[in-house]
Amino acid sequence: MGVEIDTHLLPMKGHYFLFNAGTAPVVPFIPTLAKQLGYSSVIVGVIYTILPIVGLISKPLFGIIGDRFHIQKKLFILFQFIIIISFFAIIFIPSIPSNGEFHCHEGVTLMKFCPPNIENIDKCLISKVVDENNNGTFGANLQCERNQKFNSICANWNVPGLCESNNKIIDIDTSVAHNKIEHLEKCFELIFYNGTVDNHNSSLYCPKEKVEMNCKIKFNDESVSELFAGSTDDQVKQTYQFWTFFLMLIISWAGMAVVVSIGDAICFEMLGSKPQRFGYQRMWGSIGWGTLSIISGWLIDKFSEGKTSKNYAIGFYLMAAFLLFDMIVSSRLNHTQTKSSTNILRDVVRIFQSARVIVFFMWCICIGFGTAMVWNFLFWHLEDLAVNQEKCNYDTAMKTLQGLVMFIQCFFGEVPFFFLSGKLLKKIGHINAMNLVLAGFVLRFFLYSVLQNPWYVLPIELLNGVTFGIFYSTMASYASSVAPQGTEATLQGLVGAVFEGIGVSTGSLIGGMFMNWYGGSMTFRYYSIAFAIFFAFHVTIQWILTRLFGPYEFRADYEQPYNTIASDAFLIDDNDLQQPIITRK
């Protein structure tokens, strides 16, 4: 007997594969790209605090617009194009200029750098740049703030019109030898002897009076730029590079939020009376994500050979190519929006008349709190661990390792649990599954905290099947089964908004600060303790609810009154499991 293929759903499967394959080469690497551009973990934490809030607003807002005006498909394709433009623009944003001090006294001219968190700087990079046996030189451009002390010695520089100029910034070009760099306890001093000022040669000579100026500095050497990258958070926030980077991410995250929530709503409507088949469609997203994550990680390493900084450009080109194909495939979706609601807000509010639903949403917030650390700071932690390795070629395969991490998360975590979750939920019940996810985070974070060799992270990623796979499946009924007719896109957006807009947002902010204060290992240790507390609290509150209201049965029944939804157990067939709606990172 031949296998029947539902050609009606092929474009939907194609969308899930192409969209996730397109975002995989970019989204997971944004935090480490930000680190390379000179942003601290606190800044990255703030960025990833705002981005989920953008999703929180965008999902229900455009879900309502799509439901109200029946333009789901148009919004769906439009925002795919917006994602391509906003993401691709990021590769043209330069790194944050280094901030240092120009010092000149008794004929000695130098630049002084005191990088924040100097104790975390790669020792191999320091030895490569600060080399007393290396007579080679590199160029530097200084944009220094003119002050009163400089005005007293500008005549010594023999630059026509310099003293009379009203320019507040002095433009200096010079070169520095590697063997003229001194590494002090918390600072570096780069000694140089001459240069050009406003295109005029100058000895840059200073008499006995000491002159100091604050400068923004750019180097023409990648190793030097990476070593002296980094500014205080206040300095970063004053740069156009940061605000351009942040704006492009905001637009991209809004686009992804809309595409995911509306795309899933379209999928459920195309499935019609067979919503249980959603998992078979969404599975292709995990296949796309897992496949391209390892390919893109390897390609980034390949294109970065011989360079001290990672070249992420190939990831952005892959993103653009796959999302353009996604637009073409999505235009082939045979979808006509037919359902409508006379009062979307009233119908959605009715869902929250059950105390168990409220507890469930609180649980989703807790899971988002922990998921933020995996999504935004796991790779950061792995790179910090790699810095402590004895060999100086530790990072030549770092992106390949990170790609393998995502490959295992998807193929050995998510995909198997998509198939096993129906039997698991039927056997252990809804509440026990929620407890299992919390316990999984306790173990996963503890293992991260004791990790020393970054490659040993790979077996730990099998726990993603518990912390994300089971979680994803346990949210099933709250995304589609409880959605009143005509509010599908609205409620899909609301589910993801609570998870990301509150949970992931809060976890990113706190995680970024803890990473800065305590480092990755201790941060994951504290998160492990926090989830042990969450686990104990959840077990207690669910026991109290059961004693007060008794166990409830949840059935995949669209006619069930909203004030009785949520329960201890899923009493549904294995093939009736539905998957909820979350933005895939």
- Provide mean pLDDT across the span 372-384: 91
Six-digit token pair at 67?
Answer: 């439901």
Q: Is the pLDDT of residue 585 over 50?
A: no
Rounded CA separation 387/353 (Å): 52
Tell me the backbone φ, ψ of residue 554, rounded to 5 degrees. -110, 125
Segment 363-391 shows an average pLDDT of 86
The pLDDT > 90 percentage for the chain reads 30
β-pair partners for 115: none
Mean pLDDT across the chain, nearest whole number?
81
Q: Which residue has the tokens 């939020």?
A: 257
Helices (H), 72-114: 72-89
pLDDT band (50, 70, 90) for residue 69: confident
Distance between CA atoms of residues 389 and 123, nearest Å: 10
Q: Note the pLDDT of residue 57.
A: 84
User: Does position 567 have pLDDT exceeding 50, yes or no?
Assistant: no
Q: What digits encode the pLDDT tens for the residues 487-530?
A: 555 665 677 678 888 899 999 999 999 998 898 999 999 999 99
Residue 78 CB partners (closer than 8 Å, separation 6+): none
pLDDT tops 90 at residue 292: yes
- How many Å apart are CA 236 and CA 99, to the nearest integer? 10
The C-alpha atoms of residue 490 and residue 349 are separated, in whole angstroms, by: 11
pTM of the model: 0.76
DSSP string, 42-75: HHHHHHHHHHHHHHHHHHHHHHHHHHHHT-HHHH
pLDDT computed for residue 336 by the predictor:
65
Q: At what angle do helices 30-37 and 355-387 cross, to 10 degrees?
A: 50
**Structure-model confidence comparison of residues 475 and 225, the more confident one:** 225
- Non-local (6+) Cβ contacts of 487 within 8 A are 67, 341, 344, 347, 348
Choose the weakest-confidence range: 49-63, 76-90, 129-143, 223-237.
223-237
CATH value of 8-94+237-334+345-576 in 1.10.340.30, 1.20.210.10, 3.20.20.140, 1.20.1250.20: 1.20.1250.20
Q: What are phi and psi of 493, to 5 degrees?
A: -65, -40
Task: Give the pLDDT score at 574.
Answer: 38
Sequence ranges of the domains in the chain: 8-94+237-334+345-576, 98-230
Residue 456: pLDDT over 90: yes
Identify which has the larger pLDDT, 398 or 132: 398
What does the pLDDT look like over 226-243, one tens digit per residue? 778 766 778 788 888 899
Q: How confident is the model at residue 62 (pLDDT cuts 50, 70, 90)?
A: confident
